Each structure stands twice: as C-alpha cells, then as structure tokens.
Amino acid sequence: MYAFAVMSLESEVRSHELLESAFEKHRHNIDVDKARLAYEAAKEEWDNVATVETVFRNNLESRHSVMPHITVHQALMYFQVHDLSVELAEVRGSVEPQGLCALLSCLLGPPELHDHLTAERDLVFAIAQRKLDMSEPVHVRMLQTVYQRLTGTRMDCPCYGSHWEHIGFQGTDPGTDLRGVGMLGLLQLLYLCNTPHLIPLARDIYRVSVDEQQNFPLAVMSLNMTRISLQALRHGELNRQCNHQQLVVQVVNQFYVAVFYHTLHIWTSQHKTIRDSGYVLKDVEFYCRGNVRAVLRDLQDQLASYTSTRSHDKPCIPGSFQDLLTQAKTEVFI
C-alpha cells in the first residue's frame, strides 16, 4: 500500500514551527477591541449572506473597482487547468511498511485508494505545494473573497498590510503563514467561509476567534486544520470515504471542516484559551485522524441543527473530478 507525501519530515517539522510561532505571536499582539469591532461590522453581513450577487450602488462604493468573489468550484477548476508540473514532481511516495508493520497494515490498515482517484489525490498535494502569488489574479481573488466574507466589507483591500491580522494572519503578508500548507490552506478557508450551508458554522468560528477571553488567530487555526487533513490523506485515513464518495477534494474539505468544528467544540465547551492551543491541537489531531467517520457524522449533526433562512440552498458539489476537469477547460476565471 502506498501513501503519498506532500512534504518531507523536515518540511513538516518546519511547518509545525511556523504555525506554533504564529500562535505565540498572537498571544502577545492580539488587539481584542479591534477584532471585536471587526466582528460587529461583519455581523449584519453574515446574517444575510448566501450567494454572491453583483450590486450596483449610487454611492462611493460603486466608483471603486471591486474584484468579483470567487467560489470554491471556480478556484478548484483553476488549479485543475493550471500548470502544476513543478509541484506534482514534488509529490513523492513514502516507503512501504516492512515486515510485521506491512502485515498489520494489510490486515488492519485503511483500504487502498481506488486507482482512478489517485490523480485527484495528487492534485490536492500539488495545491498544498503551490505558493501564494500576489501577481496571480485568481490567488488575489481568493484572498479578497475570504477577507470580505469574514469582515463584511465590500471593498477590496491592499495585498499587503496589517489588515490581514483582522482575520488571523500573523503579519502584513498572508503568504508567510501559507508556506506550510500552500494554496490548499487558502482554498479550504475559502470553502469554509464561502459555502452557503457552512456559513453559520463559519460565523460561530469567527465570533469565538475575536472573543475577549477565548480569542485565537482564525487563519492560523484554519491552516492547522488543513495540515491535519493533509496528514490524514497522506496516511490513507480518508481513503474509505474517498472511495465511497468517488471524490477526494470534497472529502478532504469535509474532513477539514469537521476537524475545525471538533476543535471549536473543545475550545468552547472546555473554556480553552490561546495558551492551551498546542495541547488542544495535538489531542484534536489524534482523535480526528483515528475517528474519521465519527467526526464527519458530528459535523453533519451540527450543520443540521443550524436554523437559517437560506437552509434550502445547496452547495455546488461536483459529480466527479473528470466532470470538473472537462468544465474547467472552458471556464473563464478572470
């Protein structure tokens, strides 16, 4: 059985160090009042958001150039047709288990991923290798969409600046935090805050992230959820769900949100603070990777419990990876 790696052990350790240092910086630099003001400004927008609409206003906003929001569907199709050959070359297979470990893996380990799904799995790993490029319009659209969805603003913001700290990045350049999990981290954050049926959960996560006592850097926390999702995919722990749904990207995204919900539940029910983040993340990763079906079921139960005026809206879920790839060839992104 083969498991495909995104990063070497050394790069994984480096990724951990980057994320942990970001949490440490957050402990010292968090401006709760500023964050709470941003949350209050976003609240009305969150309560009414469902789909992206083009609105023409006879006020100051209409005289500014605003990038259209991008959906996860569009962003994924962009990566499908974009040249990721350099990143795909970095996707390496790990050493097969030997001896007793190999026997135990065959008997008790996860099933192998179906052959026709390996290309989609490798795409996930390649996206995680792709660096944020501010000269790439689609990358900027993804960032702008996330920022506007979380803060409620309808205006584009500069590519660099302290405003990124409002949504939990640690500094003026989001690319610094994204080094560990690449553009997959941004794609999954986009999935969380721009998928209609997930908006109530995203709103709850954002609310807690700016809480006076329990605040945490939302973007950095999200990148940790992405890291956990990548490790689960790498070690075959999502294979059963991928084979069942005949999808990889969608399963990885679902698991990412499920891990985030589990983290939020622990954080709020056990009154955790940023000082507990290291221990919480270790426990969350251990539990979620060992109980994939349970955490996915818990997420579905939570989503079902939300009452929303837009609950009848359904997310755009592709029928298959090949269908998306065919459509992507004629899609206009910019």
Q: What is the pLDDT of residue 127?
A: 97
Cα gap 51→54, rounded to integer Å = 10
pLDDT in tens, 145-186: 999 999 888 889 999 999 999 999 999 999 999 999 999 999
Dist. CA 331–CA 77, nearest whole Å: 8
- Tokens linked to 272: 């955790």
The two three-digit tokens of residue 102, written as one number: 């190999």
Confidence class of residue 33 from pLDDT cuts 50, 70 and 90?
low
Are 248 and 242 in contact by the 8 Å Cβ rule? The answer is yes
pTM given for the model = 0.76
Distance CA 290, CA 295 (A): 10
Q: Give the domain ranges of the chain.
A: 4-328
Least confident of 25-39, 163-177, 190-204, 211-225: 25-39
Average pLDDT of the residues in 70-91 = 94
Alpha-carbon span 253 to 255, nearest angstrom: 5
Q: Please determine, for residue 14, whether its predicted confidence score (pLDDT) is greater than 70.
A: no
CA–CA dist 39, 207 (Å, integer)? 7
Cα angle for residues 60, 64, 70 (degrees, 5° grid): 125
